[in-house]
Chain A
C-alpha cells in the first residue's frame, strides 16, 4: 500500500503545526469561534452534541496493522476506548478534548494518516470498493487512482472553497460495492479494446434531494482522468449554487442545467487545461501502482478449512455468510461484522481493533479495509487459516455471521451524537438486530439491507436501503419514515416512501410485519426481498405495513 514520501511527511508536519498554533490561538482568545470553525473543520474537527468529534480519513478504506493499532491507541489514550467507523470509510472519535486534538493528529501522522478535508466544502476522503485488489470480479485495483486523486485533491488551491462538499468514489469491478452512483463523481474502471479507462458518472447524491448519478463520459483514458476531474470540479466551482445551501451540491447543478450542458462546459474547460497536464501525474501514478503490487499468494492445502467446514456448524454458518470470492485460488475475502446483535453499528473497541490488526498481520498480508457498510474486511486470507482466524475473532466478539443480512444495518450516529440529527438511529438498529436474533429468522430471510439515517442528510444511506428508515422530529416526538426498494449497487435505485411514519415504539413491530409479509409474498426461498419488491411493487408491502388501513378499507 501507499507509503508517504518525504514530501508527504513534511506537508503533514507543517499542516499539523499550523493547526496546533490555531488551537492555541483559539484557547488564548486571539481567534473567535467564527474564525476558528472553518479552520477546525478543514482538519476534521466537529463540535457535536456532547463533545468534539474528530473524523479521521481512511483513504479508500485501506489500512495496515500498524495503522489499526494506532487507531486503537488513540481511542485508549484520548477517547473512551472505542472508535466509530463510518459510511465514508472514516473513523470518528466521539469524545476528544480540544487541547488533545493536535497531539492526536501528530499520532496519526506517525502512521501516515490525517483528518484533512474530512469536513468542509472541499473534496472529501476518496472512497473505493472495500474488496479492491482482492475481488474475483475486478477489472483492476481502483486504489492507485484513488490515491492519485487523494494527492491531487488534498490542499488543491482552486478547490478549498467549493459551493458544497464533494465526494468521489472509485470502483474497479462491475459489481458496484462503493455506491458510486450516489457520489458527486463516481468512477468505474472499464476495459475497452484491451485498454483500461474510466466511466465517469456525475451528479449522484442522497440527502434531501436524492439523485442517481448520470454518465458524463463512457470512457476516459487513464492519462486524461485527472484533467477531466479538474475540469468537472472547476465547472461546478463556478456554476454550483452558492445562494442556497440545499441546492449547492453538483447533483442540483446537473439537474438544473442538464447533463448535456454540463458536458459541453466540461469539454470546453478540459480543452483549456489539458495542456497543463504534461504527464507528471502519470509518472506519479506508476510509482503509486508499484506500492499496490499484489501480495505473493501461497499455495497450501485446504484440509483444515474443509474439516472445520464439514464438522463445525458455527464456523460453517460464518463461512457461508461472511466470506466472499477472492481472485487467487485457495483464498477468501473475510468480512468481520461490526454488527453484533444489539451492538452499535460500526463501533469497535480498542481491544477489538488490536485483535483485528494482529490477525491481519498474522493471516492477512497485513491488510485491512473499512467498508462503507461499517464493517472491517481482511482482503487476503488463505482458507486454511480461516478456522484459527475465526476462533480468534470469536474470542473478541467479532465472529457474528450476519454480513448482508437484516442485522447488518448501516446506521448514522443520529441524535445520540450528531448535532444535525432530528432523531436517534442507533437504538433502532440495535432493537431490530436484537429482535430478529430472538426470532432466529435472519438466515431464513436472507439478503436484506436496512439503512437508517437520523436526519434528511442521509449519512445512513436510507434512500438506497432495501428497507430505508429516516428518523424525523414530528412535533417534538421521534418519528420514523420507511422507504422501500432502494438499491446502492450497479442497479442503483432510490427507495419509495411507504406511507405515514411510525413512532419509536411502533417502528420495530412495523419492520417485523414488513419482513413477515415478504416471507409470505416471495415466490421461493431464493427470491430476495428486493427481487420480490421489484416483482410485486409497493402495494402488498404497504398492506403488510399498515394492516389497519386495509381493515378500514374492507
Chain B
C-alpha cells in the first residue's frame, strides 16, 4: 500500500536573493507560516509543476513536509534551519521574524 500523503508546502530559493521562499495561493512568501498547505497529492503535483515553470523567479523547487496546525511548521530539522537561518549568527530570516 502506498504511503498516505502528508501535508506539504512548495518551497524553493529566490533567483535574485537566493533566500528561501514558499508558495502561496497567489505567489510566493518568505514566511513559512504564510505558505499554502497542500493536503491532496494530485493538487500538490500540479502546484509543483506550476512553481517549477517560474524559472525567472525561483530555483530548485520541491515539496517539503509541514505540520499544518495551527500554522505551517517544519517537520524536519533541515527545513527548520531553512525557515529560520543559521544557528551561529542571528542572520537570515530570524533577523526579521
Partner-B contacts on A (CB < 8 A): 26-29, 32-33, 47-52, 80, 94-99, 344, 415-417, 424, 426-427, 430, 473, 476-478
Contact = CB atoms under 8 A, between A and B. Distances in A.
Nearest to B55: A32
B92 A47 contact: no
Most buried by A among B18, B75, B76, B78: B18
Interface stretch (B2-10, B37-45, B83-91): B83-91
Contacts of A426: 86-88
A476 B92 contact: no
Contacts of A99: 16
Contacts of A48: 18
Given A476-B77, A478-B77, A47 B59 contact: yes
Interface in B38-96: 55-56, 59-60, 75-78, 81-82, 85-89, 91-93
Given A29-B55, A33-B55, A427-B88, A416 B18 contact: no
Nearest to B13: A47
Nearest to B57: A29
Given A49-B82, A427-B88, A29 B16 contact: no
Contacts, number: 75
A344 B88 contact: yes
B18 A98 contact: yes
Nearest to A96: B18
Contacts of A28: 56
Given A32-B55, A49-B78, A50-B18, 9 more contacts: A27-B16, A33-B59, A48-B18, A49-B82, A52-B18, A98-B17, A415-B78, A426-B86, A476-B75
B20 A50 contact: yes
13 contacts: A26-B15, A29-B56, A33-B59, A47-B13, A49-B78, A49-B82, A50-B19, A50-B91, A51-B19, A97-B16, A415-B77, A426-B86, A477-B77
A52 B18 CA distance: 5
Contacts of A415: 77-78, 81
Contacts of B13: 47, 51
A28 B85 CA distance: 29
4 residue pairs, one from A and one from B, having the closest CB atoms: A416-B86, A52-B18, A51-B18, A29-B56
Contacts of B15: 26-27, 33, 98
A47 B87 contact: no
Nearest to A476: B76
Nearest to B84: A50
A473 B60 CA distance: 21
Contacts of B75: 476
Contacts of A29: 55-56
Contact of A416 (B17, B55, B81): B81
